[in-house]
Structures are given as C-alpha cells and as structure tokens.
Amino acid sequence: MSKERQEIWNTIEELKPIINKEIRKVIPKNHEIDKLYDKVHYHLNTGGKRWRPALCLLICDAVNGEREKALPFAAAIEIIHNFSLIHDDIEDEDQYRRDELALWKKIGIPRAINVGDGMFAKGFYSASRSREVGLSFEKSFKLMKLLSKVVTELMEGQAMDINSRERNDISKSEYMKMISKKTGALVAGSVKGGAIIGGADDETKEAMSEFGKKIGPAFQITDDLLDFSESKGRRGMVGNDIREGKRSLMVIHYLETTSGEKRQNLLDILNKDREDTTQQDVEEAIGYLERNGSLEYAKNKKNQLAQEALESLNYLSGSEEKRQLKGMGRFLVERSF
C-alpha cells in the first residue's frame, strides 16, 4: 500500500469509531424486542469501511465547518447505505456479506426485510437530530430534503439494475444513469450534505455534489471489477455478478462490440438461473470479457470518472483539505478490497 493510501486508510480508521458511536445514539444495542436492533448491529459489525460518512465529515472540515454538527447526517448516510445492503442481499440472493452470513441467511427473509425497514426509519431519525447539535432550521430542512432525494434515487437505481438483467440491449448511457442513481446518489448526498452543514457557497456545494456523482460510479465500476477477484468479501466466491446475470459496464461493452455466436455465448451464461450457473460458466464469462478488452475498457472508464471527480475539488481553497480529499478519491478507485 502506498504512503498516500495508507494515510487515507488511517484517516478512515480514525473516523470509524466516531461514526459508530453516533449510530449507536439512534440504534440501541440492547432492546426488549428480539431480532431487531441486535441484528442491525450484527450486520454493522460484519465490517464496512464507513468511507461515505467519512467523506461527509472531511468535506465539512474542508469548508471550515464544525465536524460535530455533521455527525448526525453522516451517520444517517451510513445507516441508509446499510439498509440498502440488507435488501440488496435478499434481492440478489447473496449469501455472504463481508465474509459473514448475509442477514437474510441468518434470520430469514421476513425478519431481514423488517430490520432493513427499521434502519431506513432510523436513518431519517438520525438526520433529524441535526437541530439538536445546533444546526439552523433552514439547514436541517435542506438535509432532510437531500436525504429524501438520495433514497428516492437509490430505489430508482436498484429498480433499473434489476430490470436490466432481463434485457440484452441495455446501453452504456443507461448503465451510467443506473449507477449514478444506485451508487452515485448516496455519495453525492454525503458530500453535498457536508458542504451544506459547513456553510459552503452554492458553487462549492454543486462542485462537491459533482465530485460525489463522479466518484460514486467510479467506485461502483471498481467494485464490479473486484467481483472477478477473491477480494469482495464473499468467502472467496468469484463472479457473483455473473451468476446474477448483472449487466455491468464490461458486459455491456462486450455485447456492444461482439456479434453472432460470440455474443450469444456470454448471454447464454448470464441468462441462466443462478443455481444453474457453474464455476466453469463464470470462468468462461470472465475469459470472454478479458479477451475482448471489456475489462480494460471498464478500468479506463473508472479512471476517467475519477479524474473528473478530482478536478471538481479544485473549488476548495484549502490546499491540505484538497490534498486529503483527492487522496480519498484515488483510494476509492485504486483499492484492491
């Protein structure tokens, strides 16, 4: 790990317990109702880097805001993110999350759905605490409106993702719109929220939002590429996105640049039921994508998005804060886990 990446990782690790403490203020560890909040903490304790709320806090710092006033909204972002993961695992039938049993596999689908719903509610409750830490009514209202927009786009992006698996003609532009909602919206909301709390001017707020809209999809493409390695946190299972028939950027590139039997071979694998997809199928699909240059295309696209995201940070005046945030951006797309 390079010196810069180690520094960013250390920053995330330093902020993680602060964020976890804030989450515990709205989600108790001990409660009279069984298999609810205790299972929220089971899911949270499986890991997670907490980089989204960390970004919110760092942006607030960068525009000379008070970090303490950003904590409730930063925690809300993390809670909403984890609510979406619980439901996402059910929808994708993923059995492991961060090398541990996915919540639905541990307590069943009905209870897991309910736990996710509870986290959704607690996310908004956390954001509503902004008034308690001294934010004005105007800023608090803006944050609640922002969070509502984030979860709406998150839901729309997930619907687009699920719908795309039944199509053989999805375009790159449709894919980019989908991940901009599914992944980019949460990141954009996190950084824009930090800018609002810190009192940034409108130009800076929009620039920070643009940073999130670019770095979020870059992160997602990186994540899709990592699905083809053993680093995804699924106990060494490689290619789950292939088993789910996901139309990732590399798959779309392949479908757009091949024809005939070559194109159909990949579609035959992607369109199989998950339980019928073998490890050989997964390896063949990855081989198709690699030989066609589709993996390289995806790597170049995420690097392009990352560069555009970093350029958005030039609106920040502080050189140290700008350096740290640019380092965070590079960390998110150069990681190997």
Q: Rounded mean pLDDT of the chain?
A: 93
Report d(CA 33, CA 23) in Å as an integer. Answer: 18
Q: Could you tell me if 97 and 232 are in contact, meaning their C-beta atoms sit under 8 angstroms apart? A: no
Among 155, 152, 85, 145, which Cα is nearest to 115's?
85
Gyration radius of the chain over CA positions: 20
- Please, what sign has the CA dihedral across residues 177, 197, 50, 156? negative
> Is residue 96's pLDDT more than 60?
yes
Q: Could you tell me if 193 and 77 are in contact, meaning their C-beta atoms sit under 8 angstroms apart? A: yes
Q: Could you tell me if 91 and 160 are in contact, meaning their C-beta atoms sit under 8 angstroms apart? A: no
Q: H helices within 63-179, ranges in order?
A: 67-92, 103-107, 109-128, 137-164, 172-179
User: How is residue 160 written in tokens?
Assistant: 């687009």
- Please, what sign has the CA dihedral across residues 227, 95, 85, 153? positive
What confidence score (pLDDT) does residue 140 get? 97
Helix, strand, or coil (residue 96): strand
What DSSP state is assigned to residue 234? S
pLDDT in tens, 273-321: 989 999 999 999 999 999 999 999 999 999 999 999 999 998 887 778 8
Helix 202-226 vs helix 172-179: crossing angle, to nearest 10: 110
In the chain, the number of structural domains is: 1
pLDDT in tens, 13-23: 999 999 999 99
- List the beta bridge partners of residue 97: 100
pLDDT in tens, 292-303: 999 999 999 999
DSSP string, 268-332: HHHTS-GGG--HHHHHHHHHHHHHTTHHHHHHHHHHHHHHHHHHHGGG---HHHHHHHHHHHHHH
pLDDT > 70 fraction of the chain, expressed in percent and rounded: 97
What confidence score (pLDDT) does residue 134 get? 96
Helix 172-179 vs helix 249-257: crossing angle, to nearest 10: 170
What confidence score (pLDDT) does residue 230 get? 67
Average pLDDT, integer, range 143-168? 95
CATH number, domain containing residue 52: 1.10.600.10
- Domain of 24? 3-334
> Is residue 144's pLDDT more than 90?
yes
What confidence score (pLDDT) does residue 31 get? 87
User: How is residue 37 written in tokens?
Assistant: 């909040």
Report d(CA 190, CA 58) in Å as an integer. Answer: 10
Report d(CA 184, CA 305) in Å as an integer. Answer: 11
> Is residue 70's pLDDT more than 70?
yes
Element (H, E) at 97: strand 96-97
What confidence score (pLDDT) does residue 1 get? 66
Pairing of strands 96-97, 100-101: antiparallel
> Is residue 197's pLDDT more than 80?
yes
